[in-house]
């Protein structure tokens, strides 16, 4: 793949679902050809076409270029995720899965001849420039994307850190194309981030699944518990385009005591595999709300599907991307590789999410929330029983009780202010926190 972007895949011991660093050994060959006759007539046609192009094309083309283009076409015609990787692309894919690489910071794939943004990566130039999941890139600088291969488009988008690029986008719901100028940078992906949403209510954001995701998650989880055990957790997988399968399995395992996590099924017996939880729920059964959206793909869908099917978490947001196929990276003797779809993966309940995605338990879409100029900000408090003339006093009217009530009201006002700010900044997360609070209350009762 390119230095700038990663096409979503999926992996475990050579199997990929997002971008992965795990590789199989050897070369794809000799599994079926020994038992099947080669289509000699079709091969003769191929050689005839090759010779025609060499002799009649308007400009000379070397054999290496023609053969590489033929291989790219063969693999690219299978599905959106199978591809040929030359030496540089293969190296760059391995770099990308470690969580540090150069470029803009977006996950892309081809759609109807254009480059579709699967998801921008948190805190990257693309995310800061406002690139959104679902955007179609129709022009790179002055070059139309139509007619380019994904590899060509990615090659044009990559470049030296500090240099700028203009992307022309078509966004759903907007009539006019949008031109965005972005400065390339070295992308250092913080795979996991954490913070407290409210007392004893934690938040973990996983932006991609790399080889460092699980150890980082454990460190961030420990930080959340520095003031005591958590009552609940929001796990944010929105706009997470996937990554290493092993990382997705380990993240799921950290919140499950038992049961299946994901099953992989392919044509070959070696492609049949099931991953199960080894036990040891970090939260010890406390409630989890998982956030997903259309940018949640591949490995993130494995985590969401596992926690949903095992009834370990409530999923909130919108339908996920729907990438349920598995790719295997096979190195070649020329230091390149092929990435080929070899299997599908299934959630613990046996669901294939391929081209369908995972539906959340609670559908919540982002809404703009702004401050009101009246109401709570007007300075008028609602009238209560205590304000009425000659109202009965509370029999628990001692000073200690009044101090306790005043302190509680102060905490409630502080919490309400924080909730308003959260709603203004991230409405879906605000709703997730409300759901989590409800789950905690029910569980504690």
Q: What is the pLDDT of residue 433?
A: 97
Q: Which of 13, 3, 7 is nearest to 342 (CA)?
A: 13
Buried b (16+ CB within 10 A) or exposed e, 391-407: eeeeeeeeeeeeeeeee
Residues in a beta bridge with 325: 344
Question: Do the Cβ atoms of 317 and 360 come closer than 8 Å?
Answer: yes
Q: How far apart are CA 9 and CA 244, in angstroms?
A: 8
Please give the mean pLDDT across all residues of the chain.
Answer: 86
Q: Which residues pair with residue 289 across a beta bridge?
A: 234, 314
In the prediction, which pLDDT does 430 show?
Answer: 97
What is the C-alpha to C-alpha distance for residues 12 and 427, in angstroms, rounded to an integer?
35
* Cβ within 8 Å of residue 288, ≥6 positions away: 232, 233, 234, 235, 255, 307, 312, 313, 314
Give every residue of the chain whose pLDDT is below 70, as ranges: 1-36, 95-102, 372-381, 397
Whether 323 is catalytic: yes
Instruction: Find the catalytic residue in 298, 300, 320, 325.
Output: 298
CA 354 to chain centre: 15
Closest CA to 351 of 315, 317, 304: 304
Backbone angles phi, psi at 404, to 5 degrees: -65, -45
- For the chain, what is the HEC assignment? CCCCEECCCECCCCEEECCCCCCCCCCCCCCCCCCCCCCHHHHHHHHHHHHHHHHHCCCCCCHHHHHHHHHHHHHHCCCCCCEEECHHHHHHHHHHCCCEEEECCEEEEEECCEEEEEEECCCCHHHHCCCCCCCEEEEECCEECCCCCHHHHHHHHCCCCCCEEEEEEECCCCCCCEEEEEECEEEECCCEEEEEEECCEEEEEECCECCCHHHHHHHHHHHHCCCCCCCEEEEECCCCCCECHHHHHHHHHCCCCCCEEEEEEECCHHHCEEEECCCCCCCCCCCEEEEECCCCCCHHHHHHHHHHHCCCCEEEECCCCCCCEEEEEEECCCCCEEEEEEEEEECCCCCECCCCCCCCCEECCCCCCCCCCCHHHHCCCCCCHHHCCCCCCCCCCCHHHHHHHHHHHHHHHHHHHHHHHHHHHCHHHHHHHHHHHHHHHHHHC
User: How many residues comprise the chain?
Assistant: 445
Cβ atoms of 180 and 131 within 8 Å: the answer is: yes
Q: How many alpha carbons fall within 13 Å on the CB side of residue 175?
A: 0
Report the pLDDT value the prediction gives residue 176, as an integer from 0 to 100.
Answer: 94
pTM as predicted: 0.80
Quick check: is 419 catalytic?
Answer: no
What per-residue confidence (pLDDT) applies to 4? Answer: 31
Geometric angle at alpha carbon 336, from 330 and 341, rounded to 5°: 35
Q: Could you give the CA distance from residue 228 to residue 67 in angstroms, rounded to a whole number?
A: 62
CA distance 223 to 202: 10
Which residues on adjacent β-strands are paired with residue 169?
Answer: 137, 178
The catalytically annotated residue of 92, 231, 236, 309 is 309
* Catalytic residue, candidates 208, 323, 325, 339: 323
Q: List, in order of start, the domains of the chain with CATH numbers.
A: 103-187 (2.30.42.10), 189-326+343-445 (3.90.226.10)
Active site residue 309: yes
CB atoms within 10 A of CB 297: 31
Q: What is the pLDDT of residue 149?
A: 83
Question: Of 181, 230, 237, 167, nearest to 209 (Cα)?
Answer: 237
């Amino acid at each position: 793949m390119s230095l700038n972007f990663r096409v979503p895949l999926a992996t475990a011991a050579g199997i990929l679902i997002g971008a992965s660093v795990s590789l199989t050994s050897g070369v794809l060959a000799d599994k079926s050809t020994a038992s099947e006759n080669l289509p000699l007539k079709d091969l003769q046609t191929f050689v005839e076409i090759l010779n025609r192009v060499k002799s009649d094309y308007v400009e000379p083309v070397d054999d290496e270029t023609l053969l590489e283009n033929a291989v790219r076409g063969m693999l690219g015609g299978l599905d959106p995720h199978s591809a040929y990787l030359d030496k540089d692309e293969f190296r760059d894919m391995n770099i990308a899965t470690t969580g540090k690489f150069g470029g803009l910071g977006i996950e892309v794939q081809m759609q109807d001849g254009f480059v579709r943004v699967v998801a921008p990566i948190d805190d990257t130039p693309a995310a800061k420039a406002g690139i959104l999941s679902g955007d179609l890139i129709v022009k790179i600088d002055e070059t139309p994307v139509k007619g380019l291969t994904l590899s060509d488009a990615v090659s044009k988008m990559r470049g030296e850190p500090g240099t700028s690029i203009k992307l022309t986008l078509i966004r759903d719901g907007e009539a006019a194309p949008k031109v965005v100028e972005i400065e390339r940078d070295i992308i250092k992906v913080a795979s996991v981030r954490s913070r407290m949403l409210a007392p004893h209510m934690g938040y973990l954001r996983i932006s991609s699944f790399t080889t460092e995701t699980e150890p980082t998650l454990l460190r961030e989880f420990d930080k959340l518990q520095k003031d005591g055990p958590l009552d609940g957790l929001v796990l944010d997988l929105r706009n997470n385009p996937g990554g290493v399968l092993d990382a997705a399995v380990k993240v799921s395992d950290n919140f499950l005591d038992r049961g299946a996590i994901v099953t992989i099924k392919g044509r070959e017996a070696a492609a049949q595999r099931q991953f199960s939880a080894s036990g040891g729920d970090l939260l010890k059964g406390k409630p989890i709300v998982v956030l997903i959206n259309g940018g949640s793909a591949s490995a993130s869908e494995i985590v969401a599907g596992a926690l949903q099917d095992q009834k370990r978490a409530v999923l909130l947001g919108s339908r996920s991307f729907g990438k349920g196929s598995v790719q295997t990276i096979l190195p070649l003797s020329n230091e390149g590789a092929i990435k080929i779809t070899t299997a599908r993966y299934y959630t613990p309940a046996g669901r294939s999410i391929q081209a369908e995605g995972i539906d959340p338990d609670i559908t919540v879409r982002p809404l703009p929330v702004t401050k009101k100029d009246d109401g709570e900000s007007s300075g008028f408090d609602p009238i209560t029983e205590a304000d009425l003339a000659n109202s009965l006093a509370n029999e628990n009217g001692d000073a200690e009780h009044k101090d306790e009530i005043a302190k509680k009201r102060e905490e409630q006002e502080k919490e309400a202010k924080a909730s308003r700010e959260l709603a203004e900044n991230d409405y879906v997360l605000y709703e997730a926190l409300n759901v989590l609070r409800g789950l905690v209350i029910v569980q504690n009762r």
